[in-house]
Amino acid sequence: MTTAVPPASALLDKLRGPGPLILPSMLLCDFANLQREAERLSEAGFQALHLDVMDGVFVPNLSYGLSVVKSLRRVTPLPLDVHLMIANPAQYIEAFRDAGADVITFHAEATSDHAAVLEQIRRTGAAAGIVLNPDTPVSDIAAVVELCDLALVMSVQAGFGGQAFRPEALEKFQHFRQLAQARPDLILEIDGGINRETAAQAWRAGAQWLVVGSGIFAHDDYAAAHQALLAACST
Ligand code: DX5
Ligand code: ZN
């Protein structure tokens, strides 16, 4: 029987609020000025960062790895929500926790033993989440929802920023809510094509954490982009 460390509930509770949490996706940011970007995002009121790790194997794109996570950890106090778009995630969980990840999510499609990886993440003290690409049904991970602190629903196929929102992803939130009746504290996150138009749909469907890439980084004024996204959800 594994004695999993209690989930990072203190951090997650701190991030809970009446409205959505908007997390900038650190994929389309200015990597030549990463510290400045993190400072600007914090000044714009964002309370956590979403880091898109891509290995070129699980997804047909390469982004960054442990060294960038470690660098960001050194220059920002903001919680780091690390989205692993990598094959064989179990091989890297402790390394990403040591690099500074506060939340670690991995793709259901990248491994067969979901429970083992979720418990592995929780043993490090990080919050544990599982990610579903658009074509992966919620039923694929129903058996392990009680081991999740968070579930991430992709509204684009993982691998690239700037793609078109796929509204059929919203149907999964209803299913998660049914599954998570015993887990009202389960955090539901959405990622991909979230902007001022689609944020309201996602929030109304039940997404609490909204990951936004081009909907922030296509604008010079990050604070205005943040306020516009929050306002879109309050209508
Ligand atoms: C895609 C990433 C997303 C993406 C979001 O694989 O996981 O986080 O960068 O970017 P937008 O908001 O532009 O779709
Ligand atoms: Zn992501």
Determine how many CB atoms are found less than 10 A away from the CB of residue 74.
Answer: 10
Q: Is 5 contained in some domain?
A: no
98 is catalytic: no
Segment 63-119, tens digit of pLDDT:
999 999 999 999 999 999 999 999 999 999 999 999 999 999 999 999 999 999 999
Whether 169 and 153 have beta carbons less than 8 Å apart is answered as yes
Name the domain count of the chain. 1
Q: Above 60 in pLDDT, residue 4?
A: no
Higher pLDDT, 8 or 231: 231
Q: Is 220 contained in some domain?
A: yes
Please give the distance, rounded to the nearest whole angstrom, from the Cα atom of residue 12 to the centre of ligand 1.
22
5 pLDDT band, cuts 50/70/90, is very low
Q: Is 106 contained in some domain?
A: yes
DSSP string of 93-152? HHHHHHHT-SEEEEEGGG-S-HHHHHHHHHHTTSEEEEEE-TTS-GGGGGGGGGG-SEEE
191 is catalytic: yes
Please give the distance, rounded to the nearest whole angstrom, from the Cα atom of residue 131 to the centre of ligand 2.
9
For 56, 118, 173, 187, the CA distances from 151, given in Å and listed in that order, are: 23, 11, 10, 6
Place of tokens 């299913």: 175
Among residues 55, 81, 102, 191, which one is catalytic?
Answer: 191
Angle in degrees, 0-180, between the axes of helices 198-205 and 222-234, rounded to the nearest 10: 50
C-alpha atoms less than 13 angstroms from C-alpha of 51 in its C-beta half-sphere: 31
Cβ partners under 8 Å of residue 140, min gap 6:
108, 132
Q: Is 87 contained in some domain?
A: yes
Q: Above 80 in pLDDT, residue 229?
A: yes
Q: Is 2 contained in some domain?
A: no
Residue with CA at minimum distance from ligand 1 atom 8: 25
The residue among 108, 85, 87, 84 whose CA lies nearest residue 96 is 84
Segment 37-68, tens digit of pLDDT:
999 999 999 999 999 999 999 999 999 999 99
Among residues 52, 55, 81, 102, which one is catalytic?
Answer: 52
The whole-angstrom separation of Cα 126 and Cα 10 is 11
Q: Above 90 in pLDDT, residue 36?
A: yes
3 pLDDT band, cuts 50/70/90, is very low
Q: Is 3 contained in some domain?
A: no
Q: Is 7 contained in some domain?
A: no
Tell me the average pLDDT across 208-224.
97
Q: Is 12 contained in some domain?
A: no
Q: What per-residue confidence (pLDDT) applies to 105? A: 98
Alpha helices in the chain (DSSP H): 9-15, 34-43, 66-75, 93-99, 114-123, 171-179, 198-205, 214-217, 222-234
The whole-angstrom separation of Cα 31 and Cα 25 is 12
Containing structural domain, residue 97 = 22-156+166-233
Cβ partners under 8 Å of residue 205, min gap 6:
170, 173, 174
Tell me the average pLDDT across 27-38.
97
Q: What per-residue confidence (pLDDT) applies to 202? A: 97
Q: What per-residue confidence (pLDDT) applies to 114? A: 98
Q: What per-residue confidence (pLDDT) applies to 16? A: 86
> The domain that contains 68 carries what CATH number?
3.20.20.70
Segment 144-200, tens digit of pLDDT:
999 999 999 999 999 999 999 999 999 999 999 888 777 889 999 999 999 999 999
Q: Which two tokens stand for residue 194?
A: 């979230």
Q: What per-residue confidence (pLDDT) applies to 6? A: 47
Residue type, 169: A
